[in-house]
Structure 1
């Protein structure tokens, strides 16, 4: 399946955003992006990011936000104002995955958030790191144990790089969960915990095209760098050139 659309996770350029939100978004648009994945954390501080996204002709179909053990009520009106269709929980730390009961609690929180989101015409998804793949319960990864407990309406944004770091084959895992995988984080590198060694898509060890092909429900592919040893804008541009070629005109 081809990549239907491509975003940049703005966490990749967070340091530039700290200095200049409008200039950073203009630079992202100048690379060729037509959409971004932005965060509630920045939007909650004011309208500057939302205005910069609109002023540069961009959209933000997905917005990230904490949805577990927090008050979610302020999140969804901002997502609607932004024009997002899905709010993604991106970080439930390792220490909260220590038992089946803990996994159930996370599922309950996401299910409750999804019910509230639906009132706003929004969906909820979950984004993994490596620890959800390292924890195992009843022969399954904690991520798959979570999916077993989620309402069918809750989707996944699979970070294929962290799946590999967590010791799983990302093509196989995305294939097993393909009905839920509507979003993918697409980064590359030598598959280790040294984020500074992450590489532009197509220049590392991940089979990017096979991962995309394993997700027939895929709506958005998202470029992300947790860190980068060089000029992150150059790395983002290289990833965009590689992946945008797979998006039909």
Structure 2
């Protein structure tokens, strides 16, 4: 097992979560010791002992604590308050709770972006009281609009409390038109984690009228695809967490995860 700080976003294996012990056993057998739950509200108290049984920890996790409701399969779904997410995060032993997505319609104007930043700053204040940090994970639509000469995403970052961290999804940032190493250089030490996957970057499923869904793209392991993953890793802070994640691969998902882990381990070994 490598000593690289590698984790796995469990959304990649969402079709295998019925039997947590079987799933976590397979993850541990791959040599992965950290995972990132994609919805910490679900089965929280089942996760805690199951993770422990297989020697896994969850330093980060996702919950949509910056929204009161989200659209799921065409229906508006009410969400619990941030305090509930903080309770679940504490039970799971998270270090950082990350909001996975603020909807695209809240990234169009300065006022909308500033309201989201204010909400995240308030959450950072609350979370700090219980020893928790909070952060945000991007898709591509945060880069669709410019505000005062920079992307809505970077305008958002400029408004954040220093305690707020970023989990940069390098694939979606590239699809959003970003030079990802340059973006990481501008974001600096605020980047606590990367979401790492590869694949084609010429189709943006989050663009209006694209007609393509994110899980329809044929994503690939880190050693394959359009992104220069080596340059991206070199541009990121040395102490970040590398989170392997896929929305979809045409081949076996466990094999894609293993190939990506091998890529990261070989880079770590080569740097010694």
Shorter chain as denominator, the TM-score bin is over 0.9
CA RMSD of superposed structures (Å)? 1.9
1:234 maps to 255
1:58 maps to 56
- Report Cα offsets for 1:57-108 as digits up to 9, x if no partner: 0111101111213411111222222221100111111112121100001101
Q: How does 1:237-248 map to 2 (within 5 A)?
A: 237-247=258-268
| TM-score scaled by length of structure 1 | 0.93
SS of match in other structure, 1:73: helix
User: What 5-or-longer segments of structure 2 have no aligned partner?
Assistant: 69-80, 206-213
1:211 to 2:232 alignment? yes
Match of 1:146 among 138, 153, 156: 156
Q: Residue 22 of structure 1 contacts residue 48 of structure 1 at CA under 8 Å; is this kept in 2?
A: no
Alpha-carbon distance between aligned partners in 1 of 2:42 and 2:105, rounded to the nearest angstrom: 27
- Report Cα offsets for 1:105-150 as digits up to 9, x if no partner: 1101100111111011011111100001121111101110101111
Shift of 1:217: 5.2
1:174 maps to 184
Q: Residue 67 of structure 1 contacts residue 109 of structure 1 at CA under 8 Å; is this kept in 2?
A: no
Q: Which moved more, 1:99-108 or 1:66-75?
A: 66-75
Higher RCO (CA < 8 A, seq sep 6+): 1
Q: Which moved more, 1:99-108 or 1:70-79?
A: 70-79
Aligned residues: 246
Shift of 1:43: 4.5
Structure 1 segments of 4+ aligned residues over 6 angstroms from their partners? none
Q: How does 1:177-192 map to 2 (within 5 A)?
A: 177-191=187-201, 192=203
Alpha-carbon distance between aligned partners in 1 of 2:131 and 2:12, rounded to the nearest angstrom: 28
